[in-house]
Amino acid sequence: MRPPLTGFALAALLLFPAACAADKVHEESNGRVWIEAEDFHSQEKTEKRRWYLTTLKETPQVEPDGDPNHAAGASGGAYLEALPDTRRTHSDKLIRGENFANEPGSVAVLNYRVRFHTPGRYYVWVRAYSTGTEDNGLHVGLNGQWPESGRRLQWCEGKRSWRWESKQRTEANHCGEPGKIFLDIPAPGLHTVSVSMREDGFEFDQMLLTRDPNHQPGN
């Protein structure tokens, strides 16, 4: 984990949340890429929901948001949350394309520039904080495409804590099946890795892309 953000870097993130790391290029090394959620290149599809920065000292003034600040356990003392959060329980009204987006790339999209030196299959892990049953879904894409292997990343275990996960929600298992969330990098060079909201209220801290199907980051 990196140290908390301070000074100009923190001020820039708070003032310009849609372009807080526009010049950042993440580098793949030895088959792995580590990405901090807040180091995104651009943000789009923000008409209904957008990603807001939370830090040790700052909490987004966006309502409704039923969760307290969880930055104390986040990498670098900072994370992103998809807000506003209007669907916290199964009984709350589900509005497709607003507080729920089963179609990837349609609501609250974050883009990250990544330079890959080694092409091939990369398994995707994401560190997130889930409080209930309706804030635990995310999608992952590559170069503007949203393959089936990047859809419906799901959390069920480890509620009310920061947890790494790499499971895909399926009809057979709504809590997700391991080994099914991955991106296939076609060639060396600069690519865009994206995430998009599936459920509002999602709290996103870090992402790991790894060539090793057996690697599991520690929480």
In the chain (219 residues long), the average pLDDT of successive 10-residue segments reads: 42 44 92 98 98 97 96 98 96 97 98 98 98 95 98 95 97 95 98 98 98 91
Q: What is the pLDDT of residue 9?
A: 41
Q: What is the pLDDT of residue 19?
A: 41
Q: Domain map of the chain by residue range?
A: 25-210
Q: What is the pLDDT of residue 146?
A: 98
* Four-residue CA torsion sign, 70, 58, 124, 30: negative
- Token pair for residue 165? 């996960």
Q: What is the pLDDT of residue 6?
A: 42
Q: What is the pLDDT of residue 20?
A: 56
Q: How far is CA 134 from CA 65, 105, 161, 190, 207, in A?
A: 13, 18, 15, 34, 20
Say how far apart CA 98 and CA 113 lie, in whole Å.
26
Q: What is the pLDDT of residue 205?
A: 98
Please tell me the pTM assigned to this model: 0.90
**Cβ neighbours of residue 162 under 8 Å, at least 6 residues apart?**
70, 73, 74, 127, 128, 129, 205, 219
Say how far apart CA 163 and CA 130 lie, in whole Å.
8
**Cβ neighbours of residue 116 under 8 Å, at least 6 residues apart?**
28, 33, 185, 188, 189, 191
- Our CA angle for 7, 13, 18, nearest 5°, is 160
Say how far apart CA 156 and CA 162 lie, in whole Å.
12
Q: What is the pLDDT of residue 22?
A: 80
> Does the 25-210 domain belong in CATH 3.40.50.300?
no
